[in-house]
Amino acid sequence: MDPNTLWAIVLITIGAALIILELFIPSGGLIGIAAVGCFIGAVYLGYQAGQSTGMFILCASVIVVGVMIYLALKIWPHTAMGKNALPPPEDPAGSVTRSLEHLVGLRGISTSDLMPNGRIEIDGKSHDAVSRGMIIEAGTEIEVLSIESNRILVGQVKAAQAGSNSEPGNPQPDIEYSSFEDDLEQSLGD
Co-location of 150 and 132 in the same domain: yes
How many domains, the chain?
A: 2
- Quickly state the pLDDT bin for 166 (edges 50, 70, 90): very low
Q: Write down the pLDDT at residue 167.
A: 47
Please calculate the CA angle 78-84-90 and round it to the nearest 5 degrees: 80
Q: Cα separation of 135 and 48, whole Å?
A: 80
Query: Is the residue at 139 inside a domain?
Result: yes
Q: Cα separation of 51 and 99, whole Å?
A: 66
- Quickly state the pLDDT bin for 90 (edges 50, 70, 90): low
- Quickly state the pLDDT bin for 103 (edges 50, 70, 90): confident
Co-location of 96 and 80 in the same domain: no
Co-location of 80 and 114 in the same domain: no
- Quickly state the pLDDT bin for 92 (edges 50, 70, 90): low
CB atoms < 10 A from the CB of 23, how many? 19
Q: Write down the pLDDT at residue 36.
A: 93
* Exposure class string for 46-84: b at 16+ Cβ within 10 A, else e: bbbbeeebbeebbebbeebbeebeeeeeeebeeeeeeee
Query: Is the residue at 190 inside a domain?
Result: no
Q: Cα separation of 134 and 154, whole Å?
A: 10
Q: How far apart are the first and last CA of the chain?
A: 93
29: left (phi over 0), alpha (psi -120 to 50) or beta: left
Which has more pLDDT, 175 or 52?
52
* Residue 168 Cα distances to 106, 142, 173, angstroms: 12, 18, 11
Co-location of 73 and 115 in the same domain: no
| Mean pLDDT, rounded, for 93-106 | 70
Task: Establish whether the linkage from the previous residue to 116 is cis, with ω within 30° of 0.
Answer: yes
- State whether residue 130 is helix, strand or coil: strand
Query: Is the residue at 171 inside a domain?
Result: no
Task: Give the range of the structural domain holding residue 77, as residue numbers without chain letter.
Answer: 3-85
* Helix residue spans in 50-91 (DSSP H): 51-75, 80-85
Residues in contact with 95: Cβ distance below 8 Å, sequence separation at least 6, in sequence order: none
pTM of the entire predicted model: 0.45
